[in-house]
Amino acid sequence: MATIILIIHLMIAIALVASVLLQRSEGGALGIGGGGDGFMSNRGAGNMLTRTTAILAAMFMTTSLVLGILASRGGSANSVLDRVVAPQTLSDEDLPEVPAPLGSEFVPAAPVADPEPAAPAEPAEPAEPAVPRAE
């Protein structure tokens, strides 16, 4: 239910933004104003847009309150992450045997650990700088 109300809420928000942007600015400082040759008179278009904006604002506030109430009550805990099942650990007996590639007679042996670790190698001397020198 919350998803349906959220989708309706988003559609109302988009319509509210569009209705506010369609209204004529009162200041007129930008010089962007509709002419008198529209399909409705300025007064009629202004009244219709004002009424539409008021209705959309009321619907936006109502859906906001309903979504807030649903969120405070906890709603449903049906989330994709709640349905994730932890992977099972497989033992060596459960793993399938993989055959060797065709034409391969090489059988890898188990790696042998060195009884004594080798001493760390000496660091190499730095090479000459690649920056040109002034002569």
The 10s digit of each residue's pLDDT in 30-57 is 555 555 444 555 556 668 888 999 999 9
What average pLDDT does the segment 68-73 reach?
87
4-18, 33-47, 116-130: the lowest-pLDDT one = 33-47
Task: Provide CB contacts within 8 A for 6, sequence distance 6+.
Answer: 67
- Two tokens at 32? 């962007």
Per-residue pLDDT, 18: 93
If you average pLDDT over each of 14-18, 30-34, 45-49, 84-88, which comes out highest?
14-18
Burial class (CB in 10 A: 0-12, 13-18, 19+), 12: buried
Q: What is the pTM of this model?
A: 0.46
